[in-house]
């Protein structure tokens, strides 16, 4: 059984090192929280804040306009300059990780009693991956996913709403409120990076060493392959795996950021009029269309060409009058868009982790095993959305 399969099992085995009554003391909490962050690329590229309250407000202060003005001798200026204040809020959402470990598993496996610590680290690592996926891809609209992809033993053909990714909006969705550059299919390269830099207000790009291009590993690899074809020392260094820094800004590969990001929208289909989606073009045959009320009940998707018609190049969807979608119905469409890149300061992303993180353990004497439960409260935000540029519709040619 692989580590991934093991962490997905409902029952296994865990922890001697838990504090009294299964609650971590403050020193253990900090260590455990830091451990989660260290398992991802976010550690050095996001600001982590820890809080106890139900809501965390981060105050911002700035000077948004010119402060200097002409002076006249012996005349007091008629107005005074001040500062602007604002705040961003993080609303924590609770995450739970339940699992069991049988006595037999601890007795028979090759690691013996020490397997408990091994399993706890595996669950912590998987939880870190799950949280990073949420930070990146969260969307409160709630994408539709094959039930079997998110629930062990679920349907392999029908869809449910992914309630985990619907907890809050992640950075890709929050970035839609920033400076968006549609590259119209231009292949990844210096022209793409240059256009994104120019789209960022000058005051935020004075210190390029603090900026980062965040992208999927596949898109970064395409850029490296493109750069490595140059018969120059820089081309050789790219082929050798040196970190690329277009215009002096490092590229950060985000493992859980997909080459073709998943997008979800609710659209009203009236008559047979085509409705434009947020992005175009979209990946052909990479969409699923379901009722907007989709929840935990597995549901079959509507059929393209029978219930609806797609124009993948234009990024539009239209109701088919002879299908199962009623006139005026609101549909949930989940689709894959062309690659995207985010340019921002390395600390502009914020991760909020509740201080009341708990790891609890209970004994089930009838089942002869231990039950465990991790609880966490998490959230994410962008501190200054105007200091963020989102590049969309990027081509993948070398």
> What token pair was written down for 75?
């005349």
Residue with tokens 């020490």, as numbered in its chain = 114
Same domain for 101 and 41:
yes
* Residue span of the structural domain in which 268 resides: 262-336
Tell me if 137 is assigned to some domain.
yes
- Indicate whether 362 pLDDT > 80: yes
State residue 46's pLDDT score: 86
Chain segment 223-280, per-residue pLDDT in tens:
998 877 766 666 667 776 778 899 999 999 999 999 999 999 999 999 999 999 999 9
More confident residue, 1 or 282: 282
Q: How confident is the model at residue 17 (pLDDT cuts 50, 70, 90)?
A: very low
Tell me if 39 is assigned to some domain.
yes
Tell me if 193 is assigned to some domain.
no
More confident residue, 23 or 198: 198
**Average pLDDT, stretch 164-180?**
96
**Average pLDDT, stretch 191-197?**
97
Same domain for 359 and 266:
no
Chain segment 286-330, per-residue pLDDT in tens:
999 999 999 999 999 999 999 999 999 999 999 999 999 999 999
State residue 19's pLDDT score: 37
- Residues counted in the chain: 398
Tell me if 151 is assigned to some domain.
yes
Tell me if 12 is assigned to some domain.
yes
Same domain for 266 and 130:
no
**Average pLDDT, stretch 184-206?**
95
Return the axis-axis angle of helices 26-38 and 115-137, rounded to nearest 10°.
60
Same domain for 46 and 118:
yes
State residue 382's pLDDT score: 93
Tell me if 42 is assigned to some domain.
yes
**Integer-rounded Cα radius of gyration of the chain:** 25
State residue 65's pLDDT score: 54
Same domain for 356 and 331:
no
The answer to whether 395 and 220 have CB atoms below 8 angstroms apart is no
The answer to whether 31 and 50 have CB atoms below 8 angstroms apart is no
State residue 302's pLDDT score: 98
Q: End of a domain among 281, 310, 336?
A: 336
Q: End of a domain among 283, 311, 336?
A: 336
Tell me if 118 is assigned to some domain.
yes
The answer to whether 351 and 222 have CB atoms below 8 angstroms apart is no
Same domain for 280 and 373:
no
**Average pLDDT, stretch 358-369?**
82
Same domain for 155 and 114:
yes
CATH for 36:
3.30.2400
271 SS3 class: coil
Same domain for 301 and 366:
no
Same domain for 363 and 329:
no
More confident residue, 8 or 333: 333
Tell me if 206 is assigned to some domain.
no
Same domain for 324 and 358:
no
- When divided into structural domains, the chain yields a total of 2
- Indicate whether 141 pLDDT > 90: yes
253 SS3 class: strand
- Indicate whether 31 pLDDT > 70: no
Same domain for 323 and 363:
no
Same domain for 22 and 127:
yes
Name the nearest CA neighbour of 179 among 197, 206, 203, 191.
197
Contacting residues for 281 by C-beta, under 8 A, at least 6 apart: 185, 312, 313, 314, 315, 338, 393
């Amino acid at each position: 059984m692989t580590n991934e399969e093991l962490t997905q099992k409902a029952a296994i085995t865990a922890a001697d090192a838990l504090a009294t009554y299964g609650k971590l003391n403050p020193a253990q909490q900090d260590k455990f929280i830091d451990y989660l962050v260290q398992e991802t690329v976010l550690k050095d590229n996001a600001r982590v804040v820890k809080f106890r309250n139900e809501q965390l407000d981060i105050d911002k202060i700035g000077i948004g306009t010119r402060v200097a003005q002409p002076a006249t001798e012996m005349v007091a200026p008629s107005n005074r300059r001040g500062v602007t204040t604002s705040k961003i809020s993080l609303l924590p959402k609770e995450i739970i990780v339940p699992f069991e470990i049988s006595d037999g598993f601890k007795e028979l496996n090759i690691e013996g009693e020490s397997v408990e610590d091994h399993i706890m680290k595996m669950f912590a690592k998987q939880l870190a991956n799950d949280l990073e996926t949420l930070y990146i891809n969260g969307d409160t609209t709630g994408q539709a996913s094959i039930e079997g992809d998110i629930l062990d033993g679920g349907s392999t053909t029908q869809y449910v709403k992914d309630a985990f990714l619907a907890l809050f909006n992640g950075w890709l969705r929050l970035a839609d409120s920033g400076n968006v550059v549609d590259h119209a299919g231009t292949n990844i390269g210096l022209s793409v990076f240059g256009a994104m830099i120019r789209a960022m207000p000058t005051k935020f790009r004075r210190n390029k060493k603090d900026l980062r291009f965040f992208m999927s590993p596949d898109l970064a690899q395409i850029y490296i392959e493109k750069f490595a074809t140059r018969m120059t020392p820089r081309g050789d260094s790219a082929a050798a795996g040196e970190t690329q820094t277009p215009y002096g800004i490092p590229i950060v590969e985000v493992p859980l950021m997909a080459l073709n990001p998943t997008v979800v929208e609710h659209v009203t289909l009236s008559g047979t009029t085509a409705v434009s989606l947020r992005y175009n073009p979209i990946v052909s045959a990479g969409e699923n269309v379901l009722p907007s009320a989709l929840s935990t009940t597995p549901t079959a998707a509507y059929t393209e060409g029978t219930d609806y018609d797609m124009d993948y190049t234009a990024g539009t969807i239209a109701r088919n009058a002879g299908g199962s979608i009623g006139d005026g119905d609101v549909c949930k469409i989940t689709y894959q868009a062309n690659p995207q890149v985010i340019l921002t300061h390395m600390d502009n992303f914020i991760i909020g982790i509740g201080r009341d993180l708990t790891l609890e353990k209970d004994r089930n004497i009838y089942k002869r095993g231990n039950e465990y439960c991790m609880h966490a409260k998490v959230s994410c935000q962008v501190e200054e959305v105007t200091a963020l540029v989102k590049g969309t519709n990027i081509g993948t040619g070398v």
